[in-house]
Structure 1
């Protein structure tokens, strides 16, 4: 508690605390949503199987508009990455060194998860567990990595996309939205592969709006000479790059987003559910659809409406300490929350007591209460074990960052290759079917590509600390 109190007290006066609150709230909703939605039962042959409760609870699908908060992660990520890159450049740093700094917090906790799951899978195989069952369990535990795949790719592209934002403003996300629309047409009418780009275009569009939010905040605060210069330049329309922070803008975005979401999902061809439900013709999240972008617009409107009161509230010590505590281990919480489900399920199976009331009944809803409470205890234990890795990484970044003002072309290519290898490894894992027999639970090519990329970035960071 003393360390958290100190971290909270050391918060810079100009920090936008609301961004950290949104990140903490988003992770909480993701975890609760997954835990409540997950149904684990025995199938007819007697094997454990899991599925989404939304496949049966049709009436609750509109609630996914609340629990689908991954767009908030990318919006907050855009804000944080713009702030970090701008500050880094102001100190004379290069985009290459910024990418190395940014990779640390993302990759170290993820590496720990993958290595432990692979080691656990190998142990399970040695005692005779079916490789297909191992893969099913590990696939479930690594479901959060689909988000990380997209986010690492977006972070890697930030040194390219941020200058585009500074030059072309809102024209950039508009182009990306048009590309998402083209991908959706491919899914609806063919060719289907046309939608593949949506996995990147959709999240990039939201991330770009995070840049505009950051510019809006710095302009309003008069925090940077760049912001003042932009204000004098009078850029407007599509080429403006500052998000208005006033309540009318928030209300307008909320209304536009809500109307578009209703037209697309209730009237149009898109599913109402913003989470994946087997059997639906379209999936709003994988890849991102126009309907998901409409939801992101609605969420942005709500965020702007609550911006100033939330900032005032976060000036109080207790709520801000809680936000600091969650953000110190936010990625650890996200990475391990489904592993907690596996641990609890394993314990219940070993005890020959796995309640399986029919989904949607009073008994099922009653079982959700001890289910979520027990998972919370398990996750807290996992965070206690693995959270310090993430927390220490953040502190080491602050102490060890060294601006050199230059990076060689070879170093830049190696950093880009490291990011690409990490993304490729995570992408392959998400594409291999859950039923594919894998003795290590994770495809070997995933481990090779991911560890090669992570190792390259680690070596480059270590070398960078010794640069003159």
Structure 2
């Protein structure tokens, strides 16, 4: 608590506290949402299994318009990345230094998760566990990594995409939305390969809005803009800034909701914004125009709630809570399904694991104790592994003087690419595959190589000066 008070007291006056609140809320909603819809059952062999109950709750599909908060995370990610990139450049840093610096907060907690899970899988395999069962448990525990793969890809592209933003402003996300629309057409009429780019284009579009939101907090009238002199391109960007008034919030909310209803009711897209097993089309895999309509509506809601939230965050208690959550927010996200696995295993071993029918009174009655128990287990995991993220958040590798030139840039991008490829391979490998280490060996090797390169670069290797 003392540290949180110190951090709260040192908060710069110009910090956009609302962005930190949104990040904390988004991840908290993901964690709670996954836990709430978890259905526990038993397979033919009597072993405990877990699955999503969403397919059995069609009445809840409209609720996913609020529960699908990944657009919020990419929005605030764009805002935060714009801040850190411009500040590093103001200190004389380069894009490679920025990528290396960002990798500390993102890669270290992820490496901890994967190494611990891989070690546990190896022990289970040596102990005689079925490799297929090992893969099933590993797959469930690493579901959060599909999102991290997309976010890391967006991070790698942040320097060039931010340059495009400075030149063309809101035209960039509009083009990306059009590309998602082309991908949707490919999914509906073929060829489906046209939609593959939407895995990147959809999240990039929301991330670019975060850049535009950041612009609204820079260069107030009468003050110098830290990003540079008022060139014609920069003046053009100011004219195309994201509107953030209350009226703009109402427009974003109404237009997003109208487009969403049109695309899902008479249109071809599912009402649910979360993947439902058995459906041919999914809104999040890859992102569809319907999901981008949700992003528009959520942006409107964010703008409408901004005033009350900012007043709340001026109070020490709420702001300290937001700081505390953000110190370990990635750790909580990465480990929340492992917490579910551990709790299921513990209750199963003690013969106290309930398996009520989804949507029954017993199932709903079990939700509250289930959430409380999971919170306790996750708290233990965060206490153990959270310091890795907390230390990473204090990493300031980008402050070091000197540049490594093109080789350093190439190596940093290659490191990210290897990590992203590893996470994608893991996420796309069937959960019924026979994998003694839980994840395919090529994925593990690629991850270790990529994370190792980024670790060397953070240590200063390859830097001149």
1:41 is paired with a residue whose SS is strand
1:409 is paired with a residue whose SS is helix
- Given that 1:216 and 1:243 are in contact with CA atoms closer than 8 Å, whether structure 2 keeps it comes out as yes
| Equivalent position of 2:341 in the other structure | 342
1:321 is paired with a residue whose SS is helix
| Equivalent position of 1:313 in the other structure | 312
User: Once structures 1 and 2 are overlaid, which stretch shifts more, 430-439 or 241-250?
Assistant: 241-250
Following TM superposition, by how much is the alpha carbon of 1:467 offset from its aligned partner in structure 2, in angstroms?
4.9
1:350-429 counterparts in 2 under 5 A?
350-395=349-394, 397-398=395-396, 400-404=397-401, 406-429=403-426
| Equivalent position of 1:235 in the other structure | 236
- Given that 1:215 and 1:227 are in contact with CA atoms closer than 8 Å, whether structure 2 keeps it comes out as no
| Equivalent position of 2:27 in the other structure | 27
With over 3 angstroms needed to count, the CA separation of the structure-2 counterparts of 1:233 and 1:357, relative to structure 1, is closer
Q: Structure 2: how far apart are the matches of 1:407 and 1:122?
A: 38
Q: Structure 2: how far apart are the matches of 1:26 and 1:361?
A: 28
Q: Structure 2: how far apart are the matches of 1:463 and 1:19?
A: 31
- Given that 2:408 and 2:463 are in contact with CA atoms closer than 8 Å, whether structure 1 keeps it comes out as no
Q: Structure 1: how far apart are the matches of 2:62 and 2:317?
A: 33
1:68 and 2:62 matched = no
Can you give the 5+ residue segments of structure 2 that lack an aligned partner in the other structure? none
2:40 is paired with a residue whose SS is strand
- Given that 1:145 and 1:426 are in contact with CA atoms closer than 8 Å, whether structure 2 keeps it comes out as yes
- Given that 1:94 and 1:407 are in contact with CA atoms closer than 8 Å, whether structure 2 keeps it comes out as no
With over 3 angstroms needed to count, the CA separation of the structure-2 counterparts of 1:376 and 1:12, relative to structure 1, is same
2:278 is paired with a residue whose SS is coil
1:211 and 2:208 matched = no
Q: Structure 2: how far apart are the matches of 1:376 and 1:110?
A: 20
| Equivalent position of 2:273 in the other structure | 274
Q: How many residues align?
A: 464
Q: Structure 1: how far apart are the matches of 2:408 and 2:228?
A: 31
1:40 is paired with a residue whose SS is strand
Following TM superposition, by how much is the alpha carbon of 1:348 offset from its aligned partner in structure 2, in angstroms?
1.3
Can you give the 5+ residue segments of structure 1 that lack an aligned partner in the other structure? none
| Equivalent position of 1:161 in the other structure | 161
2:217 is paired with a residue whose SS is helix
User: Once structures 1 and 2 are overlaid, which stretch shifts more, 309-318 or 405-414?
Assistant: 405-414
2:111 is paired with a residue whose SS is helix
Q: Structure 2: how far apart are the matches of 1:366 and 1:464?
A: 55
With over 3 angstroms needed to count, the CA separation of the structure-2 counterparts of 1:64 and 1:420, relative to structure 1, is same
| Equivalent position of 2:101 in the other structure | 101
With over 3 angstroms needed to count, the CA separation of the structure-2 counterparts of 1:233 and 1:371, relative to structure 1, is closer
Following TM superposition, by how much is the alpha carbon of 1:192 offset from its aligned partner in structure 2, in angstroms?
1.3
Following TM superposition, by how much is the alpha carbon of 1:4 offset from its aligned partner in structure 2, in angstroms?
1.2
- TM-score (normalised: structure 1): 0.96
Q: Structure 2: how far apart are the matches of 1:452 and 1:55?
A: 39
Alignment root-mean-square deviation, CA: 1.8
User: Once structures 1 and 2 are overlaid, which stretch shifts more, 111-120 or 213-222?
Assistant: 213-222
1:115-154 counterparts in 2 under 5 A?
115-154=115-154
